[in-house]
Each structure stands twice: as structure tokens, then as C-alpha cells.
Structure 1
Amino acid sequence: MISQQLNDQITRVGPGSDAGAVLRRYWQPAALTDELQRGLPLAVNLLGERLALVKGADGELVLATRDALADEAPSFSPDADDIVLTEGGASYPAVERNGIVFAYMGPGAAPAFPDFDCFRAPDSHVFAFKGLWECNWLQALEIGIDPAHASFLHRFLEDEDPDDSYGKQFRDRAAHTNMPMTQVLREYPRPEIRVEETDYGLKIIALRHMENELTHVRVTNQIFPGAICIPMSREMTITQWHVPIDDETCYWYSMFTSFQNPVNKDLMREQRLKEHRLPDYAPLKNKSNDYHYNPEEQANLTYTGMGLDINVHDQWAVEGMGAIQDRTQEHLGRSDVAIIRYRRMLRKMIAALGEDGGDDALPMRDEAAASIKGPLSNDAIATTDEWETASHAADMERRAACPWDATV
């Protein structure tokens, strides 16, 4: 458990806040490229500021300060006719990358984008989407860096045919076996978790030791400050940012990156729009309708009884903690090692900014950031004494067969 003062320090993100100062020194997703089809200006609420995407004098996108409508909800984007820009207000640079418009709201020059797979892959191989969660950004991030939660929160009591599950996480077969990933997670629920610091954040390794001296290896990543990169299947990874609208609501923005075949964007968009409404991308299953909880389903099909979309499971878990999780009452355990390491890293970076205001101590803030590739995010099954070599080899094999340059 931590103090209320510390909990406030690492969760609150408005202008002048400690965590907000860190987040503002990185490119943050501001909108989907799809949203630009509604026209400009486009209202954006980001890091506790009311803004709008507009075209600058040079024709490039910028994020400008706007006047707030008195009755505007945090997640609502009004029509362009309702947007009034603040005369003389701040503006921030914005740029499109593979389906997401990113904005830089910090001091000085914006950092370079790392050469991650989601940015270097061609547009044909990346699909972007987002969803609204009614909770603080940090608890949204922390569920994504907890490898153990998938064995419980996303437990499926029946295994569907992975061949019919394109575009859905945990529906692939485990590498080099016919065992569905849902079965691996269900039968081996207590992974050994290792965490390593990297030049982009944290590398998180979950080892599920199986029979016959085999181990399932799942490598995920925390990309500082607020993103994760995780395997969706052997074909695809997900890079997901957890972006504060304000202190009590956030969006997750995801880039689904395919290594071999172009993504079926129409199908993936259709799948997700069945679960979300427009224009605010709010989930149709939510607190107001108990997330469509079904006790019969819970008894026979899923751990939560809330359908097959794992985003709903995560949404229920993080929103159920309250708008801002009360960490003064929590008791962390061995499986929370990545969460512990991340909080230490965030606190260290807050302290570094407070000491001298320099950005060089923060990950990916120097010139070398542009050369950071990957990161490795995959599943593999190997003999227990060779899991590390096998995991790396599986990633290299996938990259070698990739039609775009995925070399690292």
C-alpha cells in the first residue's frame, strides 16, 4: 500500500501535476485518423485540457486550445460548429502514424518516434482503434502489465476453433502445438514472472511451466510512459496506449500490427464497432447495464459471465476499482512484480524532472530513441532449459518471413 499523497502524485495528470509533466514529454494519441473524416476542427480532451485538432497555417495538423462548453461531458466530441478556439491559447504539434494522430504537449522539441513495428509496418499491415474507460489511466495500464490476470479474468471454460477467431486475442494456438491459448492460460494459471529494464521501459516474461519439461513463454512489454506491446497471435501484436482524458477517464488506443498478411481492416473494425458506439467510442457494455453479466454464461463458458470480448473483462476490472484506485488499501503480491517495477520507474522519472527539469533521464528522450526497434512480443513453447533461446528464435523466424522490413 502507498500513501494518499503518493497515489495522487502518480495518477493525476492535469497541467502542473507531477505525472502529467512526465506524460507530456512523450507523443500521446489524440484521435484516430478515422475521426478526421468527421471534419475539422475535431474536439479532443487530453491530459485534462480541452483542445481541438485543426489545420495550422502551414496546412499541418495542430492541437489548439478551445473554450469548454459548460455542459460538455469529458468524452463527448461536439460538432465542428460548436467548437470555439481560445484566442491566443496554447497549441501543440500533431502528426499521423498508421491510423492514429499523436500530439506532443510538452516543453521543448518533441522526441523522435522509436522505430517500433507498429510505426515501421506499412499502413496495409496496421489497424487502429480505441475505446473509452471510465477510470484513471494508471489502473488501465497496470492491468496490461499483469501477466497473471489473463488466466483468471480471461478464463474461457470452452475452447473455440482458433481458425474462426481472426482478430481476437488469446484465440490462437500456442506456438508449435495444437493447444489453444485459452487452454494454456486455463491449465497453467500461476506463471513465474520476470521483469527486465530496457531502453524503452520494461520487458515482462511470463513462464508457465508445463508437463514433460516444457515451458510456455509469453513476452510482453511496458513502453514508457503509458503503453504496452503484447502478442495477439503468432501473426499479430498489439501496441496499446492508455491515454488520460482527465484524472477519471481515459482512452485505450491500439495498433494491431501484422507481420505477414495485410490486416483485414473492415472485419476488425466491424468486430469492434459491435461493442462500441460512435462518436465517442464508449463501450456498449458498461456499468449502467452490468456489463451484460449472465450467471448462466459464468457457470458454463467464461469466468466473468460478460461475453467473449476480453476488453469488457478488463473494463469491468479497472472501472470496478473506482474512478481512481485507492492504493492506500491494496496488498501487492509476487505476481505484481511488473506493477511494482513500473511505479518505481515512474516515481524515479518524476523525481528526475523535479531535480533539474532535464529530460535526458527519461527513457526514449535522447537521439538514440529513433533506433529502438521491436520490441519482441510473442508466445512460444520450448524445453524448460532453453526457453530464452527458443523465444528469441521464434521472433526471428517470424521477422525473417515478413514482407516488410521487420529486422532488428
Structure 2
Amino acid sequence: MISQKLNDQITRIGPATPAGEVMRRYWQPAALSDEVVGADPMVPVNLMGERLVLLRDPTGSFVLAERVATADEAPAFHPDRDAIRLVEGGAVYPVIEKKGVFFTYMGPGEAPEFPNFDCFRAPDSHVFAFKGLWECNWLQALEVGIDPAHASFLHRFLQDEDPADSYGKQFRDKAGHTDMPMTQVLREYPRPDIEVEETDFGLKITALRHMANDLTHVRVTNQIFPGAICIPMSREMTITQWHVPVDDQTCYWYTIFTSFAKPVDKELMRNQRLKEHRLPDYAPLKNRENNYHYNPEEQEKLTYTGMGLDINVHDQWAVEGLGPIQDRTREHLGRGDAAIVRYRLMLRKAIKAVETSREDGLLMRDKSAAAIIGPLSNDAITSTGNWLEASRQADMQRRAECPWDASV
């Protein structure tokens, strides 16, 4: 458990807050390219406690400019264009569009370079971007993503579907190059050993599920500082997901799906997700007000939560159930929370670096960030004694067969 003072320090993200000052020193997703319509668009954006609008400046470049918020504006409400008023002399932030997402830099000085992650290296044909709104603080949204053990419980499927129907769905593929469905691996081996390693971008998190016949399932995921993760979706795809504060009690997840093999079926993936979300605010149709469509018969026969097959709904229920801002003064972390502990230490170290004007200690803040590639993120079943090299080789093989340059 931690003190209330520390919990406030690592969760609050408004201007001049400790965590907010760290997050403003990195590029953050602000809007999807799909949200920008017309030759002269104005897209309201609420980001890190600030009311902004995405528009073109006199040079034709996109920027985020400060706007006046209407009195009845909800965190993700999109008012009519005519109701948008800019603040004279207000803040203006630079914007860059990458792979279906508009990113902005809201910090002081020069913006950092973008790392050369796979999601940014892949051609447009091999990526797809989407987002979703959660009614909770950004940190608890991130922390569920860096907990490798939660998938065996929260995403437990009691039946294993045909992998031929798994496209665009996480945990519905076969594990590694075996005939065992990933859902079966998670169900039968629910308590992995977890190894956490600091990297030049954040954390490499390895979950080891030791199986029969001296085999081990190796799942490598990553925390990308300050608020993103990169995880395997299937043998073909990875997910790079940012957890972006709207304000202290609301956040968006922005995801870029990246395919190493075939071009992404964008229409299919968009339609899959629009069945679960409404426009224009990308709020989930299953939510606290309708009890996430909980079905006790489904819970008995099909899923752990009884809330459908979309794992985003499972995660949403879990993180929103902790309250708008999780009370960490009452938590008791254990051995399985190793990545969460290491991340919080990393965040506190970054807060201290900003407060003491030692920003050279922050990850990915200099020109060398552009040289960071990858990261490795995959599932593999290997011999227990050779799991580390076998996992790396599985990733190398996927990259070697990739039609775009995914070499590392």
C-alpha cells in the first residue's frame, strides 16, 4: 500500500501536477485520423485536464489550441463547431499524424524524437488505429495492461473457439506454433512466473507458464514509458496501446494494431469494434449503467465475467470497478505485481528528475530515441531450459518473413 499523498502524486495529471508534468514531456495521442473530416476541420479534444481543439493553423499544419469549454460539457462531448471558441493568446501545441493517430506535445522546449517502434515503421496497409473511453484514472488503466497474470482470470474463456474465427481478437489464436489454443494455456496455467527488466524505453515483462513435458509458454509484453504498452495480439499482430488522461477521472485508450504478415483488414477490425462503441465519443456500449451486459448463464458456461467475448469490456469492468481513482492506500501487492511495482518506481524517479531539473534522466527524451526499434512482443512455447533464446528466435523468424522492414 502507499500513502494518499503518493497516490495523488502519481495519478493527478493537470497542469503543474507531478505526473502531469512528466506526461507532458512526451508525445501523447490526441485524436484519431478518422475523427478529422472536411477541408477545414475543428475537432474538440479534452486532454490532461485541458480543453483544446484540433485545427489547421494559417500555414495549413495541424495544431491543438486552447478553447473555452461550454458549461455543460462532458469529458468526451463533441459540441457543435459553431460553439467552439478559442482562447485569445491561449496555449497552442504542435501536432504530428502517425499511422492513423494525431499525436501532440504539450511540454516545454523541443519535442522528443519518436522511437522507431514497429507500429510506426510498418506501412499504412499493415496498421489500424482505434480508441475507447474508460471512466477511470489513466494509471489503473495502464496497470491492468502490465499485469501478465490477470489474463488467466479476467479473460478466462471456458470454451475454445476455432482459431479460423479469431482474426482481430486477442487471446483467440493458437499458442506459439502448437495446436493448443491460447485460451487453454491461460486457463490451465494461471499463475506465471514473472520477470521484469528495465529497458531504454521502459520495461520488458516476461510471463513464464511452465507446462507439462518440460515445456514453457513464454509471453513477452512491454511497458513503454510513460503510459503505453506493447503486447502480442496473435502470431500475426501486436498491439501498441496508449492510456491517455482526459482528466483525473477519465481516460482514452488509443491502440495501433500492427500486422507482420498480411495487410490489415481495416474494415473488418473497425466494424468489430464499432459493435462495442458509439460515435462520436467512442464510449463503450457496455458500461456501468447497464452492468456491462452481465449474463449469469454466460458466466456459468462461457466466460469468467459473463460480459461477452470482447476482452476490452473485461478490462473496462475491472478498472472502472476500482472507482474513478483507485485507492492504493488499501492495496496489498504481491509477487505477481512485480511489473506494477517497477513501473511506479520508474514514474516516481521521472517525477523527481523533472522537479530537480534533471530531465536528461528521463527515458526517450533525446535524439537517441529514434534509434529504439521493436520492441519484442510475442507468444511462444519452448523447451523450459532454452526459453529465452527460443522466444527471441521466434520473433526473429517473424521479422525475417515480414514483407516490410521489421529487422532489428
Structure 2 length as normaliser, TM-score?
A: 0.99
2:377 aligned partner? 377
**Alignment match, 2:260:** 259
Alignment of 1:93-242 (within 5 A): 93-242=94-243
What SS does structure 2 have at the residue aligned with 1:203?
strand
Partner SS, residue 226 of structure 2: coil
Secondary structure of the residue that 2:359 maps to in structure 1?
Answer: coil
The residue aligned with 1:23 is 23
**Unpaired segments ≥5 residues, structure 2:** none
Q: What secondary structure, in the 3-state scheme, does the structure 1 residue paired with 2:399 have? A: helix
Distance 1:358 1:91 in 2: 25
Paired residue type of 1:95: I
2-side partners of 1:57 and 1:352: how far apart?
A: 37
Residue by residue over 1:334-363, the C-alpha shift from the partner in whole angstroms, topping out at 9 and shown as x without a partner, is 1000000000000011011111x2321110
Deviations 1:341-386 (A, max 9, x none): 000000011011111x232111000111001000000000100000
Question: Match for 1:283: what amino acid?
Answer: P
Q: Which residue of 2 aligns with 1:360?
A: 360
Residue 41 of structure 1 deviates from its aligned partner by 1.1
1:223 and 1:117 map into 2 onto residues whose CA distance is 13
Aligned equivalents of 1:266, 1:138: Cα separation in 2: 31
Q: Distance in 2 between matches of 1:135 and 1:175?
A: 34
CA distance in 2 between partners of 1:50 and 1:199 (Å): 32
Q: Paired residue for 1:345?
A: 346
Q: Indicate the SS of the match to 1:87.
A: coil
Alpha-carbon separation, structure 1, partners of 2:63 and 2:393: 42
- Aligned residue for 2:280? 279
1:386-405 matches, within 5 Å, as: 386-405=386-405
Percent identical among aligned pairs is: 75
Partner of 2:87: 86
**Which amino acid in structure 1 is aligned with residue 254 of structure 2?**
Y
Secondary structure of the 1:360 match is: helix
C-alpha distance in 2 between matches for 1:256 and 1:295: 32
- Secondary structure at 2:9's aligned position in 1? helix
Q: What amino acid sits opposite 1:403 in the alignment?
A: P
Q: Give the distance between the partners of 1:317 and 1:395, measured in 2 at CA.
A: 31
CA distance in 2, matches of 1:296, 1:328: 36
Task: For residue 240 of structure 1, report the CA deviation from its aligned partner.
Answer: 0.1
- Give the C-alpha shift of residue 46 in structure 1: 0.2
Instruction: Tell me what 1:322 maps to.
Output: 323
Tell me the TM-score normalised to structure 1 length. 0.99
Output the CA distance in 1 between the equivalents of 2:358 and 2:248. 25
Q: Distance in 1 between matches of 2:152 and 2:374?
A: 26
Aligned to 1:313, what secondary structure does the other structure show? helix
Q: Distance in 2 between matches of 1:104 and 1:77?
A: 22
**Paired AA for residue 261 in structure 1:** K
In structure 1, how many angstroms separate the alpha carbons of the residues matched to 2:333 and 2:176?
Answer: 31
**1:333 partnered with 2:334:** yes
Residue aligning to 1:13: 13
Q: Distance in 1 between matches of 2:53 and 2:213?
A: 57
d(CA) in 2 for partners of 1:351 and 1:109?
20
3-state SS, counterpart of residue 245 of structure 1: strand
Once the two structures are superposed, what CA deviation does each residue of 1:173-198 show, in whole Å capped at 9, x if it has no partner?
01120100000000000000000000
The count of residues paired between Structure 1 and Structure 2 equals 407
Distance 2:309 2:120 in 1: 29
User: Is 1:49 the equivalent of 2:41?
Assistant: no
> Partner amino acid for 2:59?
D
**TM superposition shift of 1:82:** 1.5
* 1:79 Cα deviation from its structure 2 partner: 2.3
Q: Deviations over 1:28-69 (max 9, x none)?
A: 000000000266211000000000001112211000000010
Q: How large is the Cα RMSD of the aligned pairs?
A: 0.7
Map Cα deviations across residues 298-344 of structure 1 (whole Å, 9 max, x no partner).
00100000000000000000000000000000000110000000000
Supply the AA of the counterpart residue of 1:9: Q
CA distance in 1, matches of 2:292, 2:15: 33
Question: Over residues 162-219 of structure 1, what are the superposed CA-to-partner deviations in whole Å (9 max), with x where a residue is unaligned?
Answer: 1111000001101120100000000000000000000000000000000000000000
